[in-house]
Structure 1
Amino acid sequence: MFDKTGTITNGVPRVTRVLVLWDQARLPLRKVLAVVGTAEASSEHPLGMAVSKHCKEELGTETLGFCHDFQAVPGCGISCRVSNIEELLQTSAGTDGTQTPTLTHNPTCLTLQGATTDESSLVTDGDEGSGSPSYSVLIGNRQWMQRNGLQVTADVDEAMSSHETKGQTAILVAIDGVLCAMLAIADTVKEESALAVHTLSRMGIDVLMITGDNRRTAKAIATQVGIRKVFAEVLPSHKVAKVQELQEKGMKVAMVGDGVNDSPALARADLGIAIGTGTDVAIEAADIVLIRNDLLDVVASIELSKKTVWRIRINFMFALIYNLLGIPIAAGVFMPVGLVLQPWMGSAAMAASSVSVLLSSLLLRCYRKTSVDQYESRANGRMRSLRSSQVSTHVGLEERRCSPRTLRRSRSRLSQISRSPSQTSRTDRAHAEPDRHSLLEHDQCGQEFTV
């Protein structure tokens, strides 16, 4: 089970698109960047660090405003209050009244109805001279905005979907309760990810990807590396539940991750594998730490473990063979034929047993990791990207689809609930009432019912 960000991907994302919703929040681009950069500067998530770095580059500064009341909700987004950005904007605009060139690599912005990134409005609006105003900031996915009472319009949702189908992550920005911007962030796939996944599959190991990112982005990454089953929009606690669910089915689960959000799943899995460049918490929770940020080392660790287990079995044979031969002789079984175990023979047998086990174990030092060229030759050109239809994507812990028989049974039960009270007996209502709870299960299976 692989995490996505920082494990299958390089974990060094960059902002590729900036979309300012001018019709909803009449804020200039530079003020949006200053607010967003200040808010994300307190985040430890790779996406937040990428956004903060991008804002600093666009504003041409290394210092940002003040962030307080910061709160990060894993799998959703962040919320905080930002202040002291007016001085930042005035400084970046130039003390001599001239505008300094601050857009180092002018980002390509999407053109939608009611959206703009007009550079003519780079100066601040009515907040000048009003001291240092404070801004309430929300940054996150669609669910985070909806949880905070903000509506995502169809145009914005379509723009987000267009980036997500390309494997990019789209996040929304709301300032003072108004949805005002969208940022698209791209994270490239590691070169060895597809080869590692293909090699593990050839070894008979089922490979899954589990991530808190949205389903479209997760599916796009999975098609590139050849993973056929994806669990997207999964909270950190749900990662642990998914690991436990697989274990209850009798499977042995190895979890590969690098972030704080992966540490509970790494500790719960039968084998936790952490990337050496990841967080300290993930490294502490894992059983194996890969010193290099190379997924082929996952394959190498499994190969080495198999050789180690095989060597342990050989050592048992070396240890037992002396006892199996020496004990009958010492018991006098072969005394009639004149074969007696002398004390020096017993000592020699014990020493030979220990030396043979030691030498057998030292042969593990001859192990050499398989090279990339050997892995590629074994793939023999059969490693290729999957089609979108070949990848099954599940949201959260959802894994099963309702069977037609279950749907027919649920519809018949729902018809009882939909009858008027006068037509429904007290016994019918007693039997129909528990079925209201089953509505949630069927809704998770992608079905909609109207009662």
Structure 2
Amino acid sequence: TVVLDKTGTLTEGRPTVTDIWANGSSPLTVLRLAAAVERHSEHPLAQAVVQKAEAEKIAIPPAWHFQARVGSGAEAWVEDQWIRIGRLSWLQEMGIPWDPSWSERVQNWESQGKTVIGVAQSQSLVGLLAIADPLKPTSPEAVQHLQQMGLEVILLTGDNPTTAQAVARQAGIQRVIAQVRPDQKAAYIRSLRQPRHRVAMVGDGINDAPALAEADVGIAIGTGTDVAMAASDITLMSGDLRGVATAIQLSRATLNNIRQNLFFAFIYNTLGIPIAAGALYPFTGWLLNPMLAGAAMALSSISVVANALRLRHFQPPKPAGRR
């Protein structure tokens, strides 16, 4: 099984704010309050909010007592009021009232594969932000290739189910596990691991680090965070998801090469030692000349090295149906 994170793994990892809805205030006010909090966060969605505010030339006010809520959002003290920004479910848990009439707008955005976050001021929702992060052009091909190799591909994300399903459809992934916290990601990977069943986790963010460490093989995206790369076994320097299939195929080719080398290393000894010991002498009078024995040993080493060097010319097979 290959488990994929969404943001920065399947997608470009460069999200942008596409829509802003204000509840009783102006969209720029919503963006200004959100940027004040998110300026202190390293999350890709937070950076998208700040970049949007800077593009609109908004003066971002200072924020105090910033607190990141892992897997949920962030909050801080801005302009004498407590501002929260993050998942809509988290805001509702914090006691922020929700009007059912807003749900249609949210569902429309999420069906387009956008992530929707709310901005709350004190105990009221002041607005919503829709953030889009397009798929990497190579992600559908990479998923198709992994599936053709007989591997199950799962999308594991902290995003909401509607957005996750929309992204999964674009990528060709059937199984989706959505709205999971970082600790739940690691627990899910642990539940998949069974005897004779190997699990690879592919991710790029700080939130993915526990799951990367838990998997049999952790594969980090090189364009992601240092923490993810430190927790992983393999790093794809280019950030191209097709490298996952290449890494698995190269590993399989290497293991096949090792088996072949073991054969070459032992076949000469298996045949030569009994002859040198005189096993055939009573029947044929054959003995192994020391010069021939030395040549056989040299040939054994040469064949092993020559066979290993074939890996220098390894080319990953292309997915079926593609040139």
Q: Please give the range of the TM-score, normalised by the shorter of the 2 chains.
A: over 0.9
> Could you state the TM-score of these two structures normalised by the residue count of structure 1?
0.68
SS at match of 1:339: coil
List per-residue Cα deviations over 1:153-205 (Å, max 9, x = no partner): 11222221111111101000011222111001111111111111112111111
Q: Is the 8 A contact 2:27 2:127 kept in 1?
A: no
> Which residue matches 2:123?
177
List per-residue Cα deviations over 1:337-372 (Å, max 9, x = no partner): 3333354444433322222111110011111244xx
> Which residue matches 1:75?
71
> Which residue matches 1:138?
84
> Which residue matches 1:13?
15
> Which residue matches 1:293?
239
Tell me the amino acid that sits aligned with residue 141 of structure 1: R
Q: Is it true that 1:359 corresponds to 2:306 in the alignment?
A: yes
The verdict on how the C-alpha distance between 1:256 and 1:155 changes in structure 2, with shifts beyond 3 A counting, is same
Q: Is the 8 A contact 1:243 1:253 kept in 2?
A: yes
Matches within 5 A, 1:4-403: 4-22=6-24, 27-60=25-58, 64-82=60-78, 133-248=79-194, 250-336=196-282, 337-370=284-317, 374-375=318-319, 378-379=320-321
Once residues 66 and 246 of structure 2 are traced to their aligned partners in structure 1, the CA distance between those partners, rounded to angstroms, is: 41
Q: Is the 8 A contact 1:34 1:59 kept in 2?
A: no
Tell me the amino acid that sits aligned with residue 304 of structure 2: V
Q: Is the 8 A contact 1:33 1:59 kept in 2?
A: no
Cα drift, residue 66 of structure 1: 2.2
Q: Is the 8 A contact 2:21 2:27 kept in 1?
A: no
> Could you state the TM-score of these two structures normalised by the residue count of structure 2?
0.93
List per-residue Cα deviations over 1:428-447 (Å, max 9, x = no partner): xxxxxxxxxxxxxxxxxxxx
Cα drift, residue 28 of structure 1: 4.2
Once residues 139 and 4 of structure 2 are traced to their aligned partners in structure 1, the CA distance between those partners, rounded to angstroms, is: 10
Ranges in structure 2 where 5+ consecutive residues have no aligned partner: none
Tell me the amino acid that sits aligned with residue 68 of structure 2: A
Tell me the amino acid that sits aligned with residue 7 of structure 1: T
Tell me the amino acid that sits aligned with residue 233 of structure 1: Q
Identity over aligned residues, as a percent? 43
Once residues 119 and 297 of structure 2 are traced to their aligned partners in structure 1, the CA distance between those partners, rounded to angstroms, is: 72
Once residues 308 and 151 of structure 1 are traced to their aligned partners in structure 2, the CA distance between those partners, rounded to angstroms, is: 58
Cα drift, residue 218 of structure 1: 0.2
Tell me the amino acid that sits aligned with residue 248 of structure 1: Q
Ranges in structure 1 where 5+ consecutive residues have no aligned partner: 83-132, 382-451
Q: Is the 8 A contact 1:4 1:211 kept in 2?
A: yes
Q: Is the 8 A contact 1:255 1:266 kept in 2?
A: yes
Q: Is the 8 A contact 2:18 2:130 kept in 1?
A: yes
Structure 1 vs Structure 2 CA RMSD: 1.8
The verdict on how the C-alpha distance between 1:314 and 1:197 changes in structure 2, with shifts beyond 3 A counting, is same
SS at match of 1:333: coil
Q: Is the 8 A contact 1:80 1:136 kept in 2?
A: yes
List per-residue Cα deviations over 1:296-343 (Å, max 9, x = no partner): 111211221121111111101101101101221232212333333354
Larger proportion of strand: 2
Runs of 4 or more above 6 Å deviation:
none
Q: Is the 8 A contact 1:167 1:186 kept in 2?
A: yes
Once residues 171 and 96 of structure 2 are traced to their aligned partners in structure 1, the CA distance between those partners, rounded to angstroms, is: 35
Tell me the amino acid that sits aligned with residue 74 of structure 1: V
The verdict on how the C-alpha distance between 1:148 and 1:323 changes in structure 2, with shifts beyond 3 A counting, is same
How many pairs were matched up? 320
Tell me the amino acid that sits aligned with residue 283 of structure 1: M
Once residues 172 and 195 of structure 2 are traced to their aligned partners in structure 1, the CA distance between those partners, rounded to angstroms, is: 24
Point out the structure with max Rg over C-alpha: 1
Q: Comparing 297-306 with 245-254, which one deviates more in the overlay?
A: 245-254
List per-residue Cα deviations over 1:75-95 (Å, max 9, x = no partner): 21111122xxxxxxxxxxxxx
Q: Is the 8 A contact 2:6 2:157 kept in 1?
A: yes
Once residues 154 and 204 of structure 1 are traced to their aligned partners in structure 2, the CA distance between those partners, rounded to angstroms, is: 44
SS at match of 2:135: coil
